[in-house]
Amino acid sequence: MSATEKRTVKCPTCGLPVTWEASSRWRPFCSERCRLIDLGEWFDEEHRIPMPTDVVPDGFDPER
């Protein structure tokens, strides 16, 4: 990629192209609205980071 080409990514919420540069205030989102929609989905637990099922957290006792 040359210095004059600008990298673009798709907004994770609506799919519109977003220029990846410091002046893109809401990157990777196209707007504050799309950013807040995504944040709300995390709060509603529609998005999750998967945890391996074979890992038992320290101090967890299933008998309690």
- Contact predicate 47/28, CB 8 Å: no
Which residues fall in the annotated binding site for Zn(2+)?
Answer: 11, 14, 30, 34
Quick one: CA dihedral 20, 31, 35, 41, positive or negative? negative
Residue labelled with tokens 């980071």: 49
Q: Which two tokens stand for residue 46?
A: 């529609």
